[in-house]
Chain A
Amino acid sequence: MPDKKKMHDYWKENLKYLAILLSIWFVVSYLFAILLAEPLNGIRFFGFKLGFWFAQQGSMYVFVILIFVYVRWVNKLDKKYKVE
């Protein structure tokens, strides 16, 4: 069993990643696609209104990217703490 202090640090770094990624998750879906959709719709993004685009396209792309970024970050973290 690895020592407690190290595991505690590992967990703290992991939580930091979660906080960053979940904030982005919240911003693209709940903020851009819902709460701010109305004002964002004033901005054109090719043929889309921007708020609408986030609701029906953009947020989903970001979701996929978020998971793969998490996979990358945490794999590095696992290596750093030798827990892979």
Chain B
Amino acid sequence: MELLTWTWILVGLTFALYIGIAIWSRANSSKEFYVAGGGVPPVLNGMATAADWMSAASFISLAGIVSFGGYDGSVYLMGWTGGYVLLALLLAPYLRKFGKFTVPDFIGDRYYSKVARIVAILAALMVSFTYVSGQMRGVGIVFSRYLEVEIDMGVYIGMAIVLFYAVLGGMKGITYTQVAQYCILIFAFMVPAIFISIQMTGNPVPQLGFGSMGHDGVYLLDKLDGLQRELGFHEYTSGNKSLTDVFAITVALMVGTAGLPHVIVRFFTVPRVSDARKSAGWALLFIAILYTTVPAVAVFARTNLIETVSEKKYDSLPQWFHNWEKTGLLKFDDKNGDGVVHYVADKARNELKIDRDIMVLANPEIAGLPNWVVALVGAGGLAAALSTAAGLLLVIASSISHDLLKKIVWPDISEKGELVAARLSSVAAVMVAGYFGLNPPGFVAAVVALAFGLAAASFFPAIVLGIFYKRMNKEGAVAGMVAGLGLMSYYILKFKFGFFDGGLSAVEALKPEWWFGISPEGFGAVAMALNFAVSLLIVRFTPPPPPEVQEMVEDIRIPNGECQAVGH
């Protein structure tokens, strides 16, 4: 069967499944809408968290990033998994015991202050909007590559689907569709990876395969190191980035992960405190299945690509090369006119431009797998993008209807009224996200760093101190968050946008001025440290929190007992 037919069938089937689940899991109360009624089993919540967490970028781009970065790519692998250890040990169980609906809920109650709540709402909205615009764009791009529709059309279809199940089912609908989406995306990722591992190394487990020997009896990684050296690239197993920067980026991503509101709220949905701990473990296990496969795919794809194209005659290249040339993901420019592909590190002599996304997208074709597998990768990419978009939209909607409307503007709103408001805010959120998907701000890629940096610089210290330091008061927490957010925004504006030095063109020249040699991606680590320092300094000169707040802190540290907050 034709590839396009297969793709339409698989995408159609999965979409029908998502809609079916949405109808089955309609939300009837605000508690169901915000936290799925607090009744999601830990394993399923683990799957939902994994799907929520792994975006189109994880699914499509990560292997490519690692493939081109080699050792440098490790910062993403460790940074985006290590954060779950922090979540499971330092945040999830206590926030579950606290037992409300959102992150600003916790900040507002723990720091007994409207100002703290508003700062938290602003941070949650900033983080989630930056993140979601990239996801909607991702949906459009996957559509256009696999279904041959316009990117804009793809964004509209994605909006319609997310709108349907997010508005109808709220967190309940989102949770169960995410479970389905996890199964689809992990299957779609693993099938080609396993086949390619068998082809290249004879080992069906990719994680072991990329440490084995190829058919020529040479260890795959040694061979790749050699190929890289020959072509003038850095060795695959060592990197280009400085030690400080690798360290800082890993910290920023780990802490940012633990501070992302759409990930944290997932732990409000399980029945008990012990389930919150357990489901963080399941979530990381499900994520690690993909994340430990990624570096294997990266090595297979890079070796394959170099061996197939480097110093080969252009006319004798396999068909997939020409197929992907048409999409613009591969570009060959025969600079010296000898009809041979020279792929080298030296920019002046290099003749081949490779888009990093091709490492996942073209993999099944390179390995000669059947069309249905190729189509499956498309359905998997859509599942990854949609699940993350939906999770983010819910955070935005609940920030507006619950944190802002119910808690600040209109405390007397009825249960029914709040549910209506929640649905309306998700409609509004989908519209705004769709707008950014259709008119992507040129800086989408740049702002992802900002999302993590902001989460690391604002939420993580405030929540951790709120749980582990009983004397932490509102003055300290608010000052810390404002300082962290402020410094992070300043650094990104200066070094990512060149805001103070004449725009984007100035960014490259500013690199030598990086503080401590730390890139904007890693600066969240510094901003977080500043937040901690400011909080701990201010708290010394200001009065301790009232006794009932200190009692609440003691209460959330103990797993049992009725959480005073549940069901509000």
Residues of A within 8 A of B (CB): 1-2, 7, 10-11, 14, 18, 21-22, 25, 29-30, 33-35, 37-38, 41, 45-49, 52-53, 55-57, 59-61, 63-64, 66-68, 70-71, 74-75, 78, 82-84
> What would be 22 A-B contacts, judged by CB atoms less than 8 Å apart?
A10-B558, A33-B78, A34-B243, A35-B247, A37-B71, A45-B211, A47-B212, A47-B213, A47-B221, A52-B71, A52-B237, A53-B211, A56-B66, A56-B77, A56-B295, A70-B88, A70-B277, A71-B278, A78-B559, A84-B274, A84-B559, A84-B560
Q: Are A75 and B85 in contact (CB under 8 A)?
A: no
Bound Cα distance A2, B64 (Å): 54
Residues in A with CB closer than 8 Å to B243 are 34-35
- Interface stretch, picked from B18-26, B283-291, B431-439, B484-492, is B283-291
Q: Which residue of B lies closest to A49 (CB)?
A: B237
Q: Are B74 and A7 in contact (CB under 8 A)?
A: no
The contact of B81 among A21, A48, A60, by CB within 8 Å, is A60
Q: Are B211 and A48 in contact (CB under 8 A)?
A: yes
Number of A-B contacts (CB under 8 A): 127
Q: Which residue of A lies closest to B298 (CB)?
A: A56
Residues in B with CB closer than 8 Å to A60 are 77-78, 81, 288, 291-292
1/0 per position for B220-239, CB-CB distance to A under 8 A? Answer: 11100000000000000110
Q: Are B89 and A78 in contact (CB under 8 A)?
A: no
Q: Which size bracket describes the interface of B in this complex?
A: 35 or more
Q: Are A47 and B71 in contact (CB under 8 A)?
A: no
Q: Are A41 and B247 in contact (CB under 8 A)?
A: no
Q: Are A83 and B78 in contact (CB under 8 A)?
A: no
Q: Are A63 and B284 in contact (CB under 8 A)?
A: yes
Q: Are B295 and A22 in contact (CB under 8 A)?
A: no
Residues in B with CB closer than 8 Å to A67 are 84-85, 88-89, 277, 280-281, 284
Min Cβ gap B251→A in Å is 8
Q: Are A55 and B74 in contact (CB under 8 A)?
A: yes
Residues in A with CB closer than 8 Å to B237 are 41, 49, 52
Q: Which residue of B lies closest to A2 (CB)?
A: B558
Residues in B with CB closer than 8 Å to A25 are 82, 85
Residues in A with CB closer than 8 Å to B84 are 63, 67
Q: Are B558 and A47 in contact (CB under 8 A)?
A: no
Q: At the interface, yes or no: B557 with Cβ under 8 Å from chain A?
A: yes
The contact of A83 among B71, B212, B558, by CB within 8 Å, is B558
Min Cβ gap B424→A in Å is 38
Bound Cα distance A20, B169 (Å): 41
Residues in B with CB closer than 8 Å to A10 are 557-558
Bound Cα distance A59, B83 (Å): 12
Min Cβ gap B217→A in Å is 11
The contact of A7 among B247, B277, B557, by CB within 8 Å, is B557
Q: Are A18 and B246 in contact (CB under 8 A)?
A: no
Q: Which residue of A lies closest to B88 (CB)?
A: A67
Min Cβ gap B53→A in Å is 14
Min Cβ gap A10→B in Å is 7
Q: Which residue of A lies closest to B555 (CB)?
A: A1
Q: Are B78 and A57 in contact (CB under 8 A)?
A: no
